[in-house]
Amino acid sequence: MLEGILIGVGSALSVTNILMVIGGCLIGTFIGMLPGLGPMSIIAIMIPVAITIGDPSAALILLAGVYYGAIFGGSTSSILINAPGVASTVATSFDGYPLTRQGKAGKALTVAAISSFVGGTVGAILLMIFAPMLASVALLFHSAEYFALMVVGLSAIAAFAGTGQVGKAMLMTLLGLIMATVGEGALFNMPRFTMGVMDLQSGFGFITLAMAMFALPEAIFLILDPNRSKTGSSNEIKDLRITKEEAKSIAPVIGRQSIQGFLVGVLPGAGATIASFLGYAVERNIASKEEQDKFGKGSVKGLAAPEAANNAACTGSFVPLLTLGIPGSGTTAILLGALIALNVTPGPRLMVDDPQIFWAVIISMYIGNVILLILNLPLIPYIAKVLAVPRNYLIPFILFFTLMGAYIGQNNATELLILVGFGVCATILRFADYPLAPLLIGFILGRMLEDNFARSMQLYDGFSFVLERPMTMGLLVLAAILVVLPSYRARRARLRAEGTADGD
């Protein structure tokens, strides 16, 4: 491991890569602050840039920096104007915005920055410990287990969608898998479901789809509802210091939530949003009575908890991506797509084949966290000026960057029409409360899922691999349980509420 760390330090500390981290963090903070652009949209927009860099570690470092920056920027806009740019910072606004209204915006930003820093750093340390362990276990996996593992990952994503939503999330996942079968598969050299359209021969473009699923609907929502981008009067930000007592009271909160957030982030489908809400809820429950009353009215603990948790969770979500090659969230799914475009296949072999990529990314996470703390915190009053960009200018630019992202990758104007078409479909799906991240994850995993499935089918000459490999069987059973359990529990709760005896 030490050897790996040294490789990582050597590669991450090159001038280019440090510039990548700085640039990524700044861009991420900048755009993440804008209402309506979350980490997924920003990363999707940055992918063409990252791909043209060519060097996979530099590209991944840039994208990871953007990811952190976006989360940090999102919390800034939650604190200052109560407009979370990102779902995972909604919990931050519960206590952050009240602090701003009390005139303590500077303090709130400092608490958020410190919590994010610790959360991210602890996450990176845990990642460094867990990822190699998990990767060495994963090396024992064959294609049959990979297939089963991906099924588990996809069902977990559907299962975490919440009550009444599992069916919809599963449907979206399946739709993503179906969309992945369009075009020419590597396995058969035979176009499928192209309906004779030449432009579909190579399948749907992944960046186009990512833009259409996230950036475009968000922009359309901004147009439809002007209140979403309402930027209040920017408050004067002064006095960034926090007192010793406050530091003492938030230290244990940050510690607990960093670890808890990391563990939540590792779970597929959970991610930073759930981690931040869970962190907030847990801390409120274990706080003393008088502190509990302060939650929601500007408690520093209530601000520190979600911030530490969401940053740790972001780091945690890299574990399944880097070790198993399975993304647990929409954002990591987009990163996976970018890696594949750069000719890197994440998975347990990554640590063996390309250790410099793996370790450089981890080391750059530390650097990214330090940069967010020392560079962005003093700059925040100036960066916050971006919130004053008028909506009339902002929206055409968001739309334009969405179009450019899809165009640059393919240099094909048909791609833009597909983008608009899918964007409209995605907006309608969002109206009806269908989750869109599962669709993209399904789309990205679809081809790998089919390849692994095909390989096991060929090795075992049929479906018998499911029965002959206990681990595959176990994983598939787990996937089935994950899908069925939420609706079973909901049904039981309903029966109990109706007063029907349920036997136990």
Partner 1 sequence: MALDRWIALIILIICSIYGYTAFFTMDAGLPPFMQRNPMWPSTFPKVLSVLAIITSLIVLLGLEKGNGEEKAPEINYRRLTDYKLGQALMLLGLMVAYALFLRPAGFLISTTVFLVAGAAILGERKMHILIPVGLVAAGSIWYLVQEVLGIFLRPWPFFMIGGA
372 binds partner 1 (CB under 8 A): no
Among 40, 450, 469, 479, binds partner 1 (CB under 8 A): 450
Compute the least distance from the CB of residue 192 to partner 1, in Å: 6
Among 6, 13, 133, 187, binds partner 1 (CB under 8 A): 187
223 binds partner 1 (CB under 8 A): yes
488 binds partner 1 (CB under 8 A): no
Size of the site for partner 1 (CB under 8 A): 69
Copy the structure tokens of residue 157: 């994503």
471 binds partner 1 (CB under 8 A): no
Compute the least distance from the CB of residue 439 to partner 1, in Å: 11
Among 190, 198, 388, 501, binds partner 1 (CB under 8 A): 190
Q: Which residues make Cβ contacts (< 8 Å) with residue 483, sequence separation at least 6?
A: 155, 158, 159, 166, 170
Binding range to partner 1, per CB under 8 A, among 18-26, 260-268, 336-344, 386-394: 386-394
166 binds partner 1 (CB under 8 A): yes
221 binds partner 1 (CB under 8 A): yes
433 binds partner 1 (CB under 8 A): yes
Binding range to partner 1, per CB under 8 A, among 108-116, 236-244, 249-257, 425-433: 425-433
Residues 398/36, Cβ–Cβ less than 8 Å: yes
Binding range to partner 1, per CB under 8 A, among 14-22, 248-256, 358-366, 408-416: 408-416
Residues 267/155, Cβ–Cβ less than 8 Å: no
Compute the least distance from the CB of residue 225 to partner 1, in Å: 6
Cβ distance to partner 1 smaller for residue 352 or 397: 397
Compute the least distance from the CB of residue 73 to partner 1, in Å: 21
Residue that has been written with the tokens 């994503």 in this structure = 157
Residues 51/341, Cβ–Cβ less than 8 Å: yes
3-state secondary structure of 192: strand
Cβ distance to partner 1 smaller for residue 212 or 362: 212
Among 90, 125, 175, 340, binds partner 1 (CB under 8 A): 175
Cβ distance to partner 1 smaller for residue 292 or 414: 414
Binding range to partner 1, per CB under 8 A, among 33-41, 344-352, 354-362, 409-417: 409-417
The CA distances from residue 287 to 28, 93, 290, 293, 342, in Å, are: 33, 19, 8, 9, 47
Binding range to partner 1, per CB under 8 A, among 61-69, 253-261, 380-388, 489-497: 489-497
3-state secondary structure of 6: helix
Helical (H) or strand (E) element with 184: strand 183-184
Residues 377/226, Cβ–Cβ less than 8 Å: no
Among 142, 256, 294, 430, binds partner 1 (CB under 8 A): 430
Cβ distance to partner 1 smaller for residue 117 or 401: 401
- Count of alpha carbons within 13 angstroms of residue 199, beta-carbon side: 11
3-state secondary structure of 191: strand
Compute the least distance from the CB of residue 80 to partner 1, in Å: 21
Residues 280/96, Cβ–Cβ less than 8 Å: no
481 binds partner 1 (CB under 8 A): no
48 binds partner 1 (CB under 8 A): yes
Q: Residue 362 burial by CB count (10 A; 0-12/13-18/19+): exposed, middle or buried?
A: buried
Among 15, 186, 432, 501, binds partner 1 (CB under 8 A): 432
502 binds partner 1 (CB under 8 A): no
Residues 84/78, Cβ–Cβ less than 8 Å: yes
- Count of alpha carbons within 13 angstroms of residue 71, beta-carbon side: 32
454 binds partner 1 (CB under 8 A): yes
Q: Which residues make Cβ contacts (< 8 Å) with residue 47, sequence separation at least 6?
A: 63, 207, 210, 334, 337, 338, 341, 405, 409
For residues 100 and 108, what is the distance between their CA atoms, to the nearest angstrom? 7
For residues 213 and 201, what is the distance between their CA atoms, to the nearest angstrom? 21
Single-letter residue type at 307: E
Q: Residue 420 burial by CB count (10 A; 0-12/13-18/19+): exposed, middle or buried?
A: middle
19 binds partner 1 (CB under 8 A): no
Compute the least distance from the CB of residue 410 to partner 1, in Å: 11
Compute the least distance from the CB of residue 50 to partner 1, in Å: 10
Nearest to 273 by CA among 241, 310, 239, 246: 310
Residue burial 80-91, b: 16+ Cβ < 10 Å; e: rest: bbbbbbbbbbbb
160 binds partner 1 (CB under 8 A): no
Residues 419/216, Cβ–Cβ less than 8 Å: yes
Cβ distance to partner 1 smaller for residue 386 or 454: 454
Compute the least distance from the CB of residue 11 to partner 1, in Å: 22
Cβ distance to partner 1 smaller for residue 227 or 285: 227
Compute the least distance from the CB of residue 341 to partner 1, in Å: 14
- Binding residues (CB under 8 A) for partner 1: these are 48-49, 52, 163-168, 170-171, 174-175, 177-178, 181, 185, 187-188, 190, 192-193, 220-221, 223-226, 390-393, 395-397, 399-400, 403-404, 407-408, 411, 413-414, 416-417, 419-420, 423-424, 428-434, 450, 453-454, 457-458, 461-462, 487, 490-491, 493-494
